[in-house]
Structure 1
Amino acid sequence: MVDTRMIAQVAGKPGFIAALDQSGGSTPGALKLYGIAESDYDSEAEMFRLMHAMRTRIITAPSFNGSKVICTILFEQTMDGLVNGRPVPSYLWEERGVVPFVKVDKGLDAERDGVSLMKPMPDLDALLDRAVKLGVAGTKMRSTIRLADPAGIAAIARQQFEIGAQIAAHGLLPILEPEVLIKSPDKAGAEHLLRNELMKGLDALPDGRQVMLKLTIPEQPDFYLPLVEHPRVARVVALSGGYGRHEACEKLSRNHGMIASFSRALLDDLRHAMSDAQFNAALAAATDEIYAASVEKH
């Protein structure tokens, strides 16, 4: 059973979520940004070993603790791995005070009706059972919206809530992430349709059920306040979506009730060749900026 202290922290503690969940497709780009080129490794196993070393360096850094980083989203292989000889989820919670979540989706299907649904997840129940045993508190799954298409956005919301119910049956807290792409030709229109569909899905949830929502920072500040205030929503978090950290933080600071769940915007300034002192200072500066945008609103 999930520790109720974890859920309370994720739902209510000031801070932000660190998304360390780059999967196979996005790992080469993340390593390249970190300063490790594809020519520096010659197998998928070596690629994932280097990525795990990067993540280990992050989660063992002095600033990566529950005072500001209240939760982190892990890639499945990271959840199954070790740090300092201990399972990653238990190390995060017991040593760092950071709640562990895990990314469960397996990537995106081809676009249809202006959206990309998640690929089938036939092994999801087995993954969820393993996550519970490892002490993980929740999950995250991403689909994307490019066009303001009513049928497509309704399908996105329906799939997110259906799989969210499967996750909740295991006692885990699901983060639903229907991402409106920042380069959508009608981002505001897509956000209006999405908010309406999410409200319908939330209203239909049974008593006692909650979800978290991970959403693109909206064009109109505070546009998602009705979702923030909905009794079935534990928390609304924002993805950086391709904005640089400074721009993402400025936009986030204008949205009350939303906290960050940043990936690239958190890691932008980190480089493999940095000394530990340089690395820790860069991560601390990013942490401070993202924390401020999450808790200090304009």
Structure 2
Amino acid sequence: MNTRQLEQIHMGKGFIAALDQSGGSTPKALAQYGIEESRYSSEDEMFALIHEMRTRIMKSPAFHSDSILGAILFENTMDRTIDGLFTADYLWEKKGIVSFLKVDQGLAPEADGVQLLKSIPGLDDLLKRAVDKHIFGTKMRSLIKEANPEGIRKVVEQQFELGKQIFAAGLVPIIEPEVDIHSSEKARAEELLKQEIKKQLVTLDSDIKVMLKLSIPTENNFYSEIMEDAHIVRIVALSGGYSQEEANKKLALNRGLIASFSRALVEGLSDGQSDEEFNRTLGKSVKAIYEASVT
């Protein structure tokens, strides 16, 4: 584990950019960027276009370590290059930004009010490749839709079990049990989630480090006590479908919680923009998300 990168993520001022749209969500991400499906006719062409979009973001002067601590990448992005360097090396060597890798394969069908992670075949091999390509950590997303104690227990147990496997491979896992922001039971689900997270944290060996990526809580500063746990490197927040403006307002009310936004980060960006307009739009987003993260 890179100790400089660990210190940056643990103590740095800024946020984490989520650039990890996978195969299933890539067409929607491209459409929001102004690239319709008629522009590509194969998966290879689709992934080439999304890499061009991500490269444009990462090479922008607005994308810098003064505001951005880390970036979450999709596997395909990890394996590609920017200016002759693998993406993680480009981010660290040229931008001073730490790389994480999305490792989940999507969500299982809903049961007990939640969606667990699908099984992740070949995870050990993927983790080894991530270490070889200088990735610092990983991310995997589950989804909680109801305040179902049994379902939430299963989500958290699965996440932490995989987290221990990931840490043993030399990476810091981001555990992401998202609570659906539209759930009528969101506050109660968050109470149950916090209880289960605390139960898992006390079982970890003293050397294990993890991160949490959580929905912005209904009650401000709801996760503050967990931030003090010795196992926690950082707690980051997902935008969860909120607009950038709304997500920033809610985030700013939670001390110590920093952003890990995806859609909210790229809001307003378009393939048809000039570089000047693109960089200006991204710069405004980075500045606003940074300020909400350090408030």
Alignment of 1:89-128 (within 5 A): 89-128=88-127
Partner of 1:77: 76
C-alpha distance after superposition, 1:240-267 (max 9, x if no partner): 0000000000000000110000000000
Tell me, in whole angstroms, the C-alpha distance in 2 between the residues paired with 1:65 and 1:203. Answer: 36
SS in 2 for 1:262: coil
Matched ranges for 1:241-260 at <5 A:
241-260=240-259
Aligned to 1:19: 18
Q: CA deviation at 1:199?
A: 0.5
1:269 aligns with 2:268: yes
Distance in 1 (CA, whole Å) between partners of 2:144 and 2:204 is: 23
Q: Which amino acid aligns with 2:199?
A: K
Map 1:186-225 onto structure 2 (within 5 A): 186-225=185-224
The superposition leaves residues 18-52 of structure 1 with CA deviations (integer Å, 9 ceiling, x where unpaired) of 00000011101100100011122111111111000
Aligned to 1:41: 40
Equivalents in 1 of 2:90, 2:263: separation in Å? 23
TM-superposed CA distance for 1:220, in Å, is 0.6
Match of 1:55 in 2: 54
CA drift at 1:85: 1.4
Q: What root-mean-square deviation, in Å, do the aligned CA atoms of Structure 1 and Structure 2 show?
A: 0.6
Counterpart-to-counterpart distance in 2, 1:210 and 1:200: 15
Tell me the distance in 2 between the aligned counterparts of 1:144 and 1:230.
Answer: 24
After superposition, where does 1:225-244 map in structure 2 within 5 Å? 225-244=224-243
Q: Distance in 2 between matches of 1:189 and 1:284?
A: 37
**CA offsets, 1:97-144, max 9 Å, x none?**
000110000000000100000000121000000000111100000000
Mapped partners of 2:3, 2:89: distance in 1: 15
Question: In structure 2, what is the equivalent of residue 86 of structure 1?
Answer: 85
- Tell me, what secondary structure is at the counterpart of 2:23? coil
d(CA) in 2 for partners of 1:176, 1:138: 10
Structure 2 counterpart of 1:164: 163
Q: How many residues are paired up?
A: 295
CA distance in 2, matches of 1:174, 1:60: 26
Give the Cα–Cα distance (whole angstroms) in 2 for the partners of residues 161 and 58 of structure 1.
Answer: 32
How big is each residue's C-alpha offset from its partner over 1:139-160, in whole Å with a ceiling of 9 and x where there is no partner? 0000000000000000000000
Aligned-partner Cα distance in 2 for 1:27–1:197: 32
Q: CA deviation at 1:290?
A: 0.1
Q: Distance in 2 between matches of 1:93 and 1:111?
A: 38
Aligned to 2:280: 281
Gaps of 5+ in 2: none
TM-superposed CA distance for 1:171, in Å, is: 1.1
Cα distance in 1 for partners of 2:90, 2:224 equals 34
Q: Deviations over 1:254-295 (max 9, x none)?
A: 001100000000001100000000000000000000000000
Q: List per-residue Cα deviations over 1:214-258 (Å, max 9, x = no partner).
A: 000001100111111212111000000000000000000000110
Deviations 1:73-101 (A, max 9, x none): 00000001000111111010010000011
AA of the residue aligned to 1:116: Q
Is 1:182 paired with 2:199?
A: no
**Runs (4+) off by over 2 Å:** none
Structure 1 stretches of 5 or more lacking a match? Answer: none
Match for 2:219: what amino acid?
Answer: Q
The DSSP-based 3-state class of the residue aligned with 1:18 is strand
1:289 alignment partner, SS class: helix
